[in-house]
Structures are given as C-alpha cells and as structure tokens.
Amino acid sequence: MLEQVQKLYDEITENLKIYLQEHSEYKPDVYQDIPEEKTFPVVIVKLLPYTVEYTTKKYTDELYNYGLEINVFSIKQGNIAKQTIADEITNYVETFFNKEYRMTLTVSKNAPNEDVDVYRNIVQATCILDTKYKDKIVIYPR
C-alpha cells in the first residue's frame, strides 16, 4: 500500500474521532476495523481500494482515485430513537469531510443491516489524490 495513502487514512480516522468526540452529543467510538466489543454508537471507517488515475514518468506525478466508506451504527438509547442518533452523527461526519477534506460525499440513510435492532447509515467519501509534492497530498473533490 502506498505509504502516503495509509498515512492519510490514519490521519482522517484520528481527526474524525476527535471531531466527533468534541461535537456529537452521543460521543461515538471511531475505528478502522470492526471492534470485538460491541458498543454503540460506533463509526467504522474503511479504506476502499484505490487506483492510479494518471502517471507521468517525466515528473513522477501520480493521481489516485481514493475513497472511504464510513459506517455509522446506532441502537436505541432510552427514549432516543436509533435513527435520531445515527442521523446526528452522520450530519457531523458530513460536516467534517466538507470542512476539513473537501471530499465528494454520497450518503445512504437507513442502509440494510443484518441486525434489525441496529440502525446503519453509510457515507462514502471520494476524491482524487495528487502526490506530486511528496510530503504533502493535494485533494481534489470528484
């Protein structure tokens, strides 16, 4: 895996965790993989397969199609509906990506889930990464 892509993935996950802890009333846990212990609400950030969009040998510029899938899971807490919790967290996820990374977002609310007691929203964030500056990555919305 390209080191810069993994580094950006780790950075986004960590920054999203901090952002949601500061802003969301429900303080969801954020993971890169499904946790062994089931606590809700939870946000899972998955790195989608990335592909090389464009390469030039002269300047060694490379553009990558890059994407993340953010799954928001919630269950009912007291008198608060699971949809309310998931939608609030999803709105903060959207705000985070729009403000911090300017990625193109696709939101699927009430996505199918194996467990009917668990509500699920999916946010897909996509962009094109430009790695020509080596130590910095330029993000172009798709």
**Which has more confidence, 138 or 120?**
120
Q: In angstroms, rounded to a whole number, what is the distance separating the alpha carbons of residues 135 and 106?
A: 29
How many domains is the chain built from? 1
**pLDDT band (50, 70, 90) for residue 33:** very high
Residues in the chain: 142
**pLDDT band (50, 70, 90) for residue 57:** low
Both structure tokens of 64: 């990558």
pLDDT tens-digit series, residues 70-99: 999 999 999 999 999 999 999 999 999 999
Domain with 132, as residue range(s), is 3-141
CATH of the domain at 90: 3.30.2000.20
**Which has more confidence, 53 or 102?**
102
Radius of gyration of the chain (CA): 16
